[in-house]
Chains A and B, each alone.
Chain A
């Protein structure tokens, strides 16, 4: 029996086991929406702006193990989706974005609501397709899901002209596809894994550096096993948080621009580094030459060969799925009884403990102003460290990363690569739908939240009781911080005049609003928001925080990992420089 292209598309999504499609209708996709209306298998979530559809689908995917799906119309619907697509691309999130297109005879004629979606998204997708022939529609959807989810994951755009959705054809969904030009590697080279094992066994100051690849690659268990087995220190990148339990002693905290003192110092002074699904990006290693000036051997495990030796030259590249490679590495080391020398390791730990003893995340409490860090800490306490946390971009994002030690992967959802303000709220909605029983909180700022605040309406419609934790300092805080440090306190356009009444906004959308101005009220307000009475409600918490608070430690652009700007309490300390052959025995 012949069915329409729109029905083929919908049936294909059903075949892929799609639960939710996040989208917004329009002229070019009316046929598809009609087909969605006539089916029950998956649910459509109507957002209020296409960017939010893509962020929600993205976070849905990040917080479970499925491919996110977004559906937008042609022209402005498609262009609005681009920021979301680029966000997912930078963070390697598997997604399929279906965009409507004008009918094939109209393509290229500057038709109403026409844009070259394939052209616009080419640099920010893993792959994209324009489906001109209805007979290729089902196979293309199959390919899109396959490409999105395998290898280094990423978003795939499928642009579908309106006439293709209206034509009729037989529906056959292929069971599998193979693409001769796309064969992702999974297993690492055994010879390279052997080299990595030897390096680790001979290391005096080993260190494991874990990025988002370990989260996306489902390698958290293997990372934890390796670190525990060897008794070595471990750090996570912003994208890797949760890959190794944040409350464990062997975890040194996040590294990088706003990483802890100990995580950054260990990165600089380790002698053998195992990079797992991390890419030495500029927010971790600002100056590769400074990083490499301290001699070290680097093993780099990544599924994407182009991530290896892109910024930092490594000694042992291992291309493969991090989960498989780590498994092989663990098994090999077990089999050979390979372990780093215990005395050396004990010395290394003494050094690390000394670095850690400076407590680089210490801040000065206040009874006058709400310290933003304390809000995150209280949130951690009250949610038992168990909530799924989404964030926007800026100071609040860094405080969330620093003060909420994530226990498990896929618990922390943020736009690390692209740094997209406006990600947090739609992401929280997507994550809540994927995890209906989880507590979901969006840590945001008064700047970021206003970039997609209309999604409060979506949250109302779909009963997603997320808690919005707005750290409102009446400034674009990270911009203000940089202006304070580097632009002579000239706060150019970083001040937000005429802020709305967020409580009023929350209530107008049918939610609960709270304004918290006094440090003494922080805990009570959070307890109330997370109480059973408000379990089913979205609560918007407007915390009026200390306006002058800065994020520390901080590595300025162009500085090395051991050249951090330290928090005030560390500035007076006489910290001895690291010495290679120090007698650690007498140190502590």
Chain B
């Protein structure tokens, strides 16, 4: 099952590689990973999307907690949460495709952020599923390149991950 883990860790050199190394050393999966500093510059917040049985997820959580630089780990799946991912997708936009791509971007609430004679670059934000749905919805042959950030997640309401 897919899980989305939120990790608060010290913003120190090498902390990221410890987390990534843990996943590879113990043969866990990383579907996506995002990380950046928080409002407190000494802390980083990481979101890892992974999958595995409940036992595996429990081990991942425990092993992450064992890393000295990890401050807190929560499994966002355990309660209501919001997740968002951003995608930049560059598409061929010529002839009849040009109007069609504009329309599709609108339907998915995307924004066209770069326009050339032959291409559009569309910025699209949403759940990972929504981004996947957009890719499915348009003609594969017009896609020139895609860049996805991986999901970021946050608990709803009063559920707060903080020191």
Interface residues of B in 64-79 (CB under 8 A from A): 65-66, 68-71
> What residue in chain A is nearest B9 (Cβ atoms)?
A181
> What residue in chain A is nearest B42 (Cβ atoms)?
A180
B13, B14, B65, B163: which has the most chain A beta carbons within 10 Å? B14
A306 with B59: CB separation less than 8 A: yes
The size bracket of the interface on A is: 10 to 19
Cβ–Cβ < 8 Å partners of A118 in chain B? 14
B117 at the A interface (CB under 8 A): no
- The CA of A310 and the CA of B66, in the complex, are separated in Å by 14
A119-127, A196-204, A365-373, A528-536: which one contacts chain B?
A119-127
> What residue in chain A is nearest B15 (Cβ atoms)?
A181
A127, A181, A182, A305: which has the most chain B beta carbons within 10 Å? A181
A305 with B62: CB separation less than 8 A: yes
Cβ–Cβ < 8 Å partners of B114 in chain A? none
Cβ–Cβ < 8 Å partners of A126 in chain B? 68
B148 at the A interface (CB under 8 A): no
Closest chain A CB from B26 CB (angstroms): 9
A122 with B68: CB separation less than 8 A: no
B55 at the A interface (CB under 8 A): yes
A239 at the B interface (CB under 8 A): no
A309 with B17: CB separation less than 8 A: no
Cβ–Cβ < 8 Å partners of A119 in chain B? 17
Closest chain B CB from A164 CB (angstroms): 15
B132 at the A interface (CB under 8 A): no
B17 with A123: CB separation less than 8 A: no
Closest chain A CB from B23 CB (angstroms): 11
Cβ–Cβ < 8 Å partners of A306 in chain B? 59, 62-63, 65-66
The size bracket of the interface on B is: 20 to 34
> What residue in chain A is nearest B62 (Cβ atoms)?
A306
Interface residues of A in 116-142 (CB under 8 A from B): 118-119, 122-123, 126-127, 130
Interface residues of B in 7-42 (CB under 8 A from A): 9-10, 13-14, 17-18, 21, 25
A181 with B66: CB separation less than 8 A: no
A310 with B59: CB separation less than 8 A: yes
Closest chain B CB from A132 CB (angstroms): 9
B58 with A127: CB separation less than 8 A: no
A179 at the B interface (CB under 8 A): yes
Cβ–Cβ < 8 Å partners of B9 in chain A? 181
Closest chain B CB from A538 CB (angstroms): 40
B68 with A147: CB separation less than 8 A: yes
- The CA of A123 and the CA of B70, in the complex, are separated in Å by 15
- The CA of A305 and the CA of B62, in the complex, are separated in Å by 6
A304 at the B interface (CB under 8 A): yes
B68 with A127: CB separation less than 8 A: yes
Cβ–Cβ < 8 Å partners of B21 in chain A? 122-123
Main secondary structure of the interface of A (DSSP, over half): mixed
B62 with A181: CB separation less than 8 A: no
- The CA of A123 and the CA of B27, in the complex, are separated in Å by 13
Interface residues of A in 80-137 (CB under 8 A from B): 118-119, 122-123, 126-127, 130
Cβ–Cβ < 8 Å partners of A308 in chain B? 62
Interface residues of A in 291-308 (CB under 8 A from B): 304-306, 308
- The CA of A304 and the CA of B63, in the complex, are separated in Å by 10
Chain A, residues 549-584, CB within 8 Å of chain B (1/0): the string is 000000000000000000000000000000000000
- The CA of A181 and the CA of B9, in the complex, are separated in Å by 8
Q: Which single member of B13, B17, B59, B163 contacts A122 (CB below 8 Å)?
A: B17
Cβ–Cβ < 8 Å partners of B14 in chain A? 118, 122, 130
A309 with B58: CB separation less than 8 A: yes
- The CA of A541 and the CA of B143, in the complex, are separated in Å by 75
Q: Which single member of B13, B62, B65, B68 contacts A179 (CB below 8 Å)?
A: B68
B68 with A182: CB separation less than 8 A: yes
B10 with A181: CB separation less than 8 A: yes
Closest chain A CB from B57 CB (angstroms): 12
> What residue in chain B is nearest A127 (Cβ atoms)?
B68
Interface residues of B in 45-59 (CB under 8 A from A): 55, 58-59
> What residue in chain A is nearest B26 (Cβ atoms)?
A123
Cβ–Cβ < 8 Å partners of B71 in chain A? 180-181
Cβ–Cβ < 8 Å partners of B10 in chain A? 181
Cβ–Cβ < 8 Å partners of B17 in chain A? 119, 122
Q: Contacts A119-B17, A123-B25; is A181 near B59 (CB within 8 Å)?
A: no
Cβ–Cβ < 8 Å partners of B58 in chain A? 309
Interface residues of A in 135-168 (CB under 8 A from B): 147
Closest chain A CB from B16 CB (angstroms): 12
B66 with A304: CB separation less than 8 A: yes
Q: Contacts A179-B68, A181-B70, A182-B68; is A309 near B55 (CB within 8 Å)?
A: yes
A127, A306, A309: which has the most chain B beta carbons within 10 Å? A306
A122 with B18: CB separation less than 8 A: yes
Q: Which single member of B25, B63, B66, B163 contacts A180 (CB below 8 Å)?
A: B163
> What residue in chain A is nearest B71 (Cβ atoms)?
A181
Closest chain B CB from A318 CB (angstroms): 15
Cβ–Cβ < 8 Å partners of B68 in chain A? 126-127, 147, 179, 181-182
- The CA of A304 and the CA of B68, in the complex, are separated in Å by 13
Cβ–Cβ < 8 Å partners of A304 in chain B? 66
> What residue in chain B is nearest A179 (Cβ atoms)?
B68
- The CA of A244 and the CA of B17, in the complex, are separated in Å by 41
Cβ–Cβ < 8 Å partners of A305 in chain B? 62, 65-66
Cβ–Cβ < 8 Å partners of A123 in chain B? 21, 25
Closest chain B CB from A470 CB (angstroms): 36
Cβ–Cβ < 8 Å partners of B66 in chain A? 304-306
Interface residues of A in 271-307 (CB under 8 A from B): 304-306
Closest chain A CB from B5 CB (angstroms): 15
Q: Which single member of B13, B25, B55, B69 contacts A181 (CB below 8 Å)?
A: B69
- The CA of A309 and the CA of B56, in the complex, are separated in Å by 10
> What residue in chain B is nearest A128 (Cβ atoms)?
B14
Closest chain A CB from B59 CB (angstroms): 6
- The CA of A413 and the CA of B144, in the complex, are separated in Å by 62
Cβ–Cβ < 8 Å partners of B70 in chain A? 181
Closest chain B CB from A400 CB (angstroms): 31
Q: A118-B14, A130-B13, A304-B66 are in contact. List 12 more A-B contacts (CB 8 A).
A: A119-B17, A122-B21, A126-B68, A127-B68, A179-B68, A180-B163, A181-B70, A305-B62, A305-B65, A306-B62, A306-B63, A309-B55
Could you list some 29 contacts between A and B, CB below 8 A?
A: A118-B14, A119-B17, A122-B14, A122-B17, A122-B18, A122-B21, A126-B68, A127-B68, A130-B13, A147-B68, A179-B68, A180-B163, A181-B9, A181-B10, A181-B68, A181-B69, A181-B70, A182-B68, A305-B62, A306-B59, A306-B62, A306-B63, A306-B65, A306-B66, A308-B62, A309-B58, A309-B59, A310-B59, A313-B55
* The 10 residue pairs across chains A and B that have the minimum distance between CB atoms: A306-B62, A181-B71, A127-B68, A123-B25, A305-B62, A182-B68, A306-B63, A122-B21, A306-B66, A181-B69
